[in-house]
Amino acid sequence: MSAQRHQRVLLKLSGEALMGEDAYGINRGTILRMTEEVSDVANLGVQLAVVIGGGNIFRGVAPGAQGMDRATADYMGMMATVMNALALQDALKHRGVDARVQSALNIEQVVEPYIRPKALRYLEEGKVVIFAAGTGNPFFTTDTAAALRGAEVGAEIVLKATKVDGIYSADPNKDPSAQRYSRISFDEVIARRLEVMDATAFALCRDQKLPIRVFSINKAGALARAVNGEDEGTLVHV
C-alpha cells in the first residue's frame, strides 16, 4: 500500500529541540535547519500548524524559579513559548514562508490572540500557523495544547518532534537492546506503560481518534517523510 500524504497536520515542537547543543536558549543553526524542514513541507501544499514549547528559554531562569508558585511558573513558561514562536516566525519569514503567531494569552501588541476561525482561514490560505502560550492555563502542558489545537483545527495527525526517533520498549540510552516500535495502538501504549505525551494530552488524542507520530527532528527530511505517511518514527494509532 502506497504512503498517503496528510493534508493538514499539527507539529508539536519542543523548546528543547531549538537548543541544539546549547545549555538553553535558541541555537541559530538549529532553528535555521528546522525552518528548512518546515518550509519544505509547506511548499508541498500541506496545511501546517505548529505548537511550540518553551523549556529551552525557561531552563535558563529555572534555578531562580525554585520555590515559586506553580501557576506563576507556568505563566512564565507560556511567555517563553511566545518568544520561541516569534523566533520561528521570523526564521520562516526569511525563507519566504508566510507564518502567523496566535497566542492563548492576550498580548495583542506582540501577537494576535487565538481565534479558531481565523486560524482555519490562515491554514486554508497556505500560511503556517504557530500556536503560542499553550492552552493559556497553568497546569496544562504544551503537549495538551498540541492535542487540543490539533482537534480544534481538524488536523489529521499530531507529529511530535523529539530528539528520539520513535517510541522504544525501554530507554534506548540505558538499554541497547530496546526495540523501536514502527506502529503501536493507544491501548498498547497504556498497557505497556510507555511514555508518549502527558496523560491529559494522550487521552485527548485517543478520545478524538487523533493519531500521533513520534519522530526525531534531528534527522534530515524526517518531517517530510512523516507528513507523507512513510515509515518514520513511531505511529500511535487507534
For residue 11, name the pLDDT band (cuts at 50, 70, 90): very high
Domain positions in the chain are 8-237
pLDDT in tens, 27-55: 888 889 899 999 999 989 999 999 999 88
The one-letter code for the residue type at 171 is D
User: Residue 163 half-sphere exposure, CB side, CA atoms within 13 Å?
Assistant: 12
To the nearest 10°, the Cα dihedral for 161, 198, 115, 10? Answer: 30
Q: Find, among 5, 6, 4, 8, the residue nearest to 126 by Cα.
A: 8
Q: Which of 158, 159, 176 is nearest to 168 (CA)?
A: 176
Angle CA(11)–CA(65)–CA(203) in degrees, nearest 5?
Answer: 35
pTM for the whole thing? Answer: 0.93
* pLDDT of 132 over the 80 cut: yes
Among the ranges given (9-13, 54-58, 145-149, 230-234), the one the predictor scored with the smallest mean pLDDT: 54-58
Percentage, residues of the chain above pLDDT 90: 73
Q: What residues are designated binding site?
A: 12-15, 54-55, 59, 74, 135-142, 162, 168, 171
Residue with cell 511566545: 82
Strand order across the beta sheet in which 212-216 lies: 112-113, 99-103, 128-132, 47-52, 8-13, 157-162, 212-216, 234-237, 183-185
- As a whole number, mean pLDDT of residues 104-124 equals 97
Mean pLDDT to the nearest integer, 115-122 = 98
Residue 60 — pLDDT band, cuts 50, 70, 90?
A: low
Q: Which residues are annotated as a binding site for UMP?
A: 54, 74, 135-142
pLDDT tens digits for range 162-190: 888 999 998 888 898 999 999 999 999 99
- What is the fold of 8-237? Carbamate kinase (3.40.1160)
Q: Of 179, 160, 159, 165, give the one whose Cα is nearest residue 228.
A: 159
Tell me the CB-side half-sphere exposure of residue 83, using CA atoms within 13 A. 15
72-to-60, 76, 194 alpha-carbon distances in Å: 16, 6, 30
Binding site as annotated, residues for ATP: 12-15, 55, 59, 162, 168, 171
